[in-house]
A and B are shown apart, each in its own frame.
Chain A
């Protein structure tokens, strides 16, 4: 069960990987997350989440091209897998379904 469960941060990172296609890598994901959601994460945390996602089979990775600013080192590029896409769709669906069931009145008033 645990393997299929998508945590909130995991979901965000997975979404960002999709957004950044085809150039999603550690620092890029971190920057994008900060820009879009205002959440400032440490790079090691992003790495940890990405590794976890890869273990769950939602993303796969390949080595990219070396760049000057990385001291000649290559990036690890992350891509969504089919399972990853499905997981995102499921999460989105669950969310929409739940959202649509909220009575209108509950959204109109706030206490």
Chain B
């Protein structure tokens, strides 16, 4: 009783606890009593005056006592000794469960390899054009216009804008205008039609492209041309080509000779894709009237600011220049000129329509990142599951360690170190896998040439450090914290049992399978849609058609004369525009509303040749005179947009001419599937404007006829390259992308299945080993393999079902939303992805559990039970 009272009394006037604790922590045990005693004595004396002062004094004394002489020798367990023990025991355990450890490490390595690969991929994407040393000073000026009440940012700006800027903004160092053109490039007998870039001679003082031959003065002369290494090989073979000449035939049959003054290399991260650079003066000579015209739009304008000057300095001048533009071209009003910094182009370039630099929309890359992260998490959960299960056989070890004197921290340390070592090993394995398999695969799949490199050493270090930390924390720390908490007595008495039977483990496994079902179902939704689109009807028959672009309309008649003699050719027609090759946008005004349309000008027989399907009315007829002037054929979308009930005979105005609708054709895809089908209108034009000849071939003779056409072309136009192509190839880019997406997502789905099955396999084999005795006893009592199998798999069936119910719809809806976001007219996803996912899972689960059950079935129960 008495002691309690004194205790209470003491508590009320005791010095600050933390200081006292600090003293006890650092002080040598043999000195503690007198030191603490003295400190308390002084405190007790002081506290009668003022508690605050006494507290302060106590703290001060404690701090003053903090001297080398008084500090306890920190008892450092030599790290080597325990570390060696941890590693040795860890290694023995890993070796004892060889298969499980292998699966564990291998699974994690796969996840890591995937993450590394996607990271490199993303890193490249977000750091395009890094080799441009002046990129922090380069800006692109763009043109914001109002198109059908939508604000559109164009890369095209008035030709005159560049000079006006340079004259008015003092901070500008250089400007580069870029104008795109075409021409037939010839060296000896090699002729190809090529895209040409006409640029200011300042090009090389703004952009840093590595020179193979030549130097920055390469574009100074009007007779010079700069080509890429690829083109040098294409035209001149492997020899050096500085000083070689090549001739270019521009439109209007103008042929000029140019001397190669430089050959340059395009680094992998480059996004300005050009093959031929010519001085822009060449272009001005070709089209004299457009040199300084506010109405003429050039394809790109880049500005190099002087050091310490910002692109924003241009803004006030640009605002003034907008009025100049308005005065000269009132029908195409610029809303404003917007400045993009070159650095920001890597994630903003997609905002600019027909911009010349920067990569595409980063959305796809972000989706990939999310997927890679999910895969990594999947691998981590895998690892966690298996570690937790594996540890259940090590409970005795933990118990013994604790009895001998290990603290909880030390047990945790042991397991974290172990998992750190394993994770580092997985990281190494993942790196090797990424380098030798994943990167080459991805490059082959996607037609990329991305090197195994990081944009900077910093990003490399950060990435790997954070990756390792993340993996160790997710996969190592939790199991360690969990295990180390057991009481040694109950472990050694055999009371603590966990692993397969614990709630924690089940939740983990469920989460893991939710993730994998999400990925699998999501991937299949996307793949299913891609297959659907690749088989989708284009709205016209295209497999028997060839289109031959003409270099000039005068070639049409001679070619027609040849074509009409070929009996394999069952139809032909000329046209100014061509479905899927050249879809001119235009607009129609109806009842005060403007509608964006696609307007094709075609010859008679064009629609028949292209197999466009007539729905109502008739197609163009040579015999009817008005057809050449005012008749139009429209598509269904046109009719629905205009809101016509009876489209035939409807009259509207287009190009200041009254138009009469004579026929309606089925909607067809003239553009890839990313875009909506617009209203389409066909009208008749004459032979002088023909740019294309469309040819319909008898079935089965496509190849032979194409070869014949190539020969015929040489007779008609020996100076121009043959550029004919099958209509089938219209969306070859899209088809290639589509194929890439299918392969990539199949790959991801396969990885996800592999990872989950590895995890399941490891877990099941582990649990079977644990329960081998139980099964042996069951077998002795007469249970057959099937019954044991059911017993074993029942748990997993439940977990998988729950995971499926949660994961599959989530993946389905997420991916369906994404697909609808990307494509305008996707398939309504059906049950196929679910069925495929569940079938795949059932097959793999049955296979993994089944292969393990074989062990149980073949095991002699006597043998298992004998040893104890």
Which of A47, A51, A63, A68 is B38 in contact with, Cβ under 8 Å? A47
Q: Cα distance A25–B35 when bound, in Å?
A: 11
A91 lies within 8 A of chain B by Cβ:
no
Taking CB as reference atom, which chain B residue is nearest A69? Answer: B44
A39 lies within 8 A of chain B by Cβ:
no
Q: Cα distance A44–B69 when bound, in Å?
A: 11
B319 lies within 8 A of chain A by Cβ:
no
B98 lies within 8 A of chain A by Cβ:
no
Please give the residue numbers on chain B whose beta carbons come within 8 Å of chain A beta carbons, in ascending order.
6, 10, 33-42, 44-45, 60-61, 64-65, 67, 69-70
Q: Are A70 and B61 in contact (CB under 8 A)?
A: no
Q: Are B61 and A71 in contact (CB under 8 A)?
A: no
Q: Are B42 and A73 in contact (CB under 8 A)?
A: no
Q: Cα distance A44–B38 when bound, in Å?
A: 9
Q: Are B34 and A43 in contact (CB under 8 A)?
A: no
Which of B36, B37, B65 is A44 in contact with, Cβ under 8 Å? B65
Q: Cα distance A47–B61 when bound, in Å?
A: 11
Q: Are A47 and B35 in contact (CB under 8 A)?
A: yes
Would you give the shortest CB distance from B61 to chain A, in whole angstroms?
6
Q: Are B65 and A70 in contact (CB under 8 A)?
A: no
Q: Are A26 and B34 in contact (CB under 8 A)?
A: yes
A60 lies within 8 A of chain B by Cβ:
no
Taking CB as reference atom, which chain B residue is nearest A66? Answer: B37
Q: Across the interface, which residues of A come within 8 angstroms of B69, CB to CB? A: 48, 51
14 contacts between A and B (CB under 8 A): A25-B34, A27-B41, A42-B61, A43-B38, A43-B42, A44-B67, A47-B38, A51-B69, A67-B41, A69-B45, A70-B40, A73-B34, A73-B36, A76-B34
Given A47-B65, A48-B69: A71 touches B40 (CB 8 Å cut-off): yes
A86 lies within 8 A of chain B by Cβ:
no
Would you give the shortest CB distance from A66 to chain B, in whole angstroms?
8
Interface string of A55-70 (1 = CB under 8 A from B): 0000000010001111
Would you give the shortest CB distance from B22 to chain A, in whole angstroms?
14
Taking CB as reference atom, which chain A residue is nearest B66? Answer: A44
Q: Cα distance A47–B6 when bound, in Å?
A: 29
Q: Are A44 and B40 in contact (CB under 8 A)?
A: no
Q: A27-B41, A76-B33 are in contact. List 7 more A-B contacts (CB 8 A).
A: A27-B42, A43-B42, A43-B64, A44-B67, A69-B44, A71-B44, A73-B34
Q: Are A43 and B39 in contact (CB under 8 A)?
A: yes
Q: Cα distance A47–B64 when bound, in Å?
A: 11
Q: Across the interface, which residues of B come within 8 angstroms of A85, CB to CB? A: none
Q: Are B42 and A71 in contact (CB under 8 A)?
A: no
Residue among A25, A27, A42, A44 having the largest count of chain B Cβ atoms under 10 Å = A44
Q: Are A27 and B64 in contact (CB under 8 A)?
A: no
Q: Cα distance A67–B36 when bound, in Å?
A: 13
Q: Are A71 and B37 in contact (CB under 8 A)?
A: yes
Q: Across the interface, which residues of B come within 8 angstroms of A69, CB to CB? A: 40-41, 44-45
Q: Are A43 and B61 in contact (CB under 8 A)?
A: yes
Which of A25, A42, A73 is B40 in contact with, Cβ under 8 Å? A73
Q: Cα distance A47–B65 when bound, in Å?
A: 9
Q: Cα distance A43–B34 when bound, in Å?
A: 11
Which of B6, B37, B39, B42 is A74 in contact with, Cβ under 8 Å? B37
Q: Across the interface, which residues of B come within 8 angstroms of A47, CB to CB? A: 34-35, 38, 65, 70
Would you give the shortest CB distance from A20 to chain B, in whole angstroms?
15
Taking CB as reference atom, which chain A residue is nearest B35? Answer: A47
Q: Across the interface, which residues of A come within 8 angstroms of B37, CB to CB? A: 70-71, 73-75
Taking CB as reference atom, which chain B residue is nearest A52? Answer: B69
Q: Across the interface, which residues of A come within 8 angstroms of B70, CB to CB? A: 47
Would you give the shortest CB distance from A73 to chain B, in whole angstroms?
3
Taking CB as reference atom, which chain A residue is nearest B36? Answer: A73
Would you give the shortest CB distance from A62 to chain B, in whole angstroms?
11
Q: Across the interface, which residues of A come within 8 angstroms of B65, CB to CB? A: 43-44, 47
Q: Are A74 and B38 in contact (CB under 8 A)?
A: no
Would you give the shortest CB distance from A11 to chain B, in whole angstroms?
21
Would you give the shortest CB distance from B791 to chain A, in whole angstroms?
64
Which of A44, A51, A70 is B64 in contact with, Cβ under 8 Å? A44
Q: Across the interface, which residues of B come within 8 angstroms of A67, CB to CB? A: 41
Q: Across the interface, which residues of B come within 8 angstroms of A71, CB to CB? A: 10, 36-37, 40, 44
Q: Cα distance A63–B34 when bound, in Å?
A: 9
Given A43-B38, A43-B42, A69-B44: A74 touches B33 (CB 8 Å cut-off): yes
Q: Which residues A7-49 have CB closer than 8 A to chain B?
A: 25-27, 42-45, 47-48
Q: Cα distance A4–B817 when bound, in Å?
A: 90
Q: Across the interface, which residues of B come within 8 angstroms of A26, CB to CB? A: 34, 38
Taking CB as reference atom, which chain B residue is nearest A77? Answer: B34
Q: Are B67 and A48 in contact (CB under 8 A)?
A: yes
Q: Across the interface, which residues of B come within 8 angstroms of A45, CB to CB? A: 64
Q: Across the interface, which residues of B come within 8 angstroms of A42, CB to CB? A: 60-61, 64
Q: Cα distance A25–B42 when bound, in Å?
A: 13
Q: Are B40 and A75 in contact (CB under 8 A)?
A: no
Q: Across the interface, which residues of A come within 8 angstroms of B40, CB to CB? A: 69-71, 73
Taking CB as reference atom, which chain A residue is nearest B3? Answer: A72
Q: Cα distance A70–B39 when bound, in Å?
A: 8
Q: Cα distance A70–B69 when bound, in Å?
A: 22
Taking CB as reference atom, which chain A residue is nearest B63? Answer: A44
Q: Across the interface, which residues of B come within 8 angstroms of A70, CB to CB? A: 37-38, 40-41, 44
Q: Cα distance A45–B769 when bound, in Å?
A: 67
Q: Cα distance A25–B41 when bound, in Å?
A: 12
Residue among B36, B39, B60, B70 having the largest count of chain A Cβ atoms under 10 Å = B39
Would you give the shortest CB distance from B56 to chain A, in whole angstroms?
13
Q: Cα distance A75–B34 when bound, in Å?
A: 6
Q: Cα distance A78–B37 when bound, in Å?
A: 15
Q: Cα distance A45–B67 when bound, in Å?
A: 10
Q: Are A73 and B61 in contact (CB under 8 A)?
A: no
Would you give the shortest CB distance from A68 to chain B, in whole angstroms?
8
Taking CB as reference atom, which chain A residue is nearest B40? Answer: A71
Taking CB as reference atom, which chain A residue is nearest B37? Answer: A73
Q: Cα distance A74–B40 when bound, in Å?
A: 11
Q: Cα distance A47–B60 when bound, in Å?
A: 15
Q: Across the interface, which residues of A come within 8 angstroms of B44, CB to CB? A: 69-71
Q: Cα distance A42–B34 when bound, in Å?
A: 15
Q: Across the interface, which residues of B come within 8 angstroms of A68, CB to CB? A: 6
Would you give the shortest CB distance from B23 to chain A, in whole angstroms?
11
Q: Are A73 and B67 in contact (CB under 8 A)?
A: no
Given A69-B44, A73-B33, A74-B33: A27 touches B61 (CB 8 Å cut-off): no
Q: Across the interface, which residues of B come within 8 angstroms of A76, CB to CB? A: 33-34
Q: Across the interface, which residues of B come within 8 angstroms of A74, CB to CB? A: 33-34, 37
Would you give the shortest CB distance from A96 to chain B, in whole angstroms?
34
Q: Cα distance A33–B354 when bound, in Å?
A: 92
Q: Cα distance A73–B10 when bound, in Å?
A: 13
Would you give the shortest CB distance from B63 to chain A, in whole angstroms?
9
Q: Cα distance A48–B23 when bound, in Å?
A: 16
Closest 9 CB pairs of A and B: A73-B37, A44-B64, A70-B37, A76-B34, A26-B38, A69-B44, A71-B40, A44-B65, A70-B41
Taking CB as reference atom, which chain B residue is nearest A47? Answer: B35
Would you give the shortest CB distance from B49 to chain A, in whole angstroms?
15
Q: Cα distance A16–B42 when bound, in Å?
A: 19
Q: Across the interface, which residues of B come within 8 angstroms of A44, CB to CB? A: 61, 64-65, 67
Interface string of A75-98 (1 = CB under 8 A from B): 110000000000000000000000
Taking CB as reference atom, which chain A residue is nearest B34? Answer: A76
Residue among B40, B61, B70 having the largest count of chain A Cβ atoms under 10 Å = B40
Q: Cα distance A47–B39 when bound, in Å?
A: 11
Q: Across the interface, which residues of A come within 8 angstroms of B41, CB to CB? A: 27, 67, 69-70
Would you give the shortest CB distance from B99 to chain A, in whole angstroms?
61
Q: Across the interface, which residues of B come within 8 angstroms of A48, CB to CB? A: 67, 69
Q: Across the interface, which residues of A come within 8 angstroms of B35, CB to CB? A: 47
Q: Cα distance A23–B37 when bound, in Å?
A: 15
Would you give the shortest CB distance from A78 to chain B, in whole angstroms?
10
Q: Cα distance A45–B69 when bound, in Å?
A: 12
Q: Cα distance A44–B39 when bound, in Å?
A: 9
Q: Cα distance A74–B38 when bound, in Å?
A: 9
Taking CB as reference atom, which chain A residue is nearest B60? Answer: A42
Q: Cα distance A27–B43 when bound, in Å?
A: 11
Would you give the shortest CB distance from B6 to chain A, in whole angstroms?
8
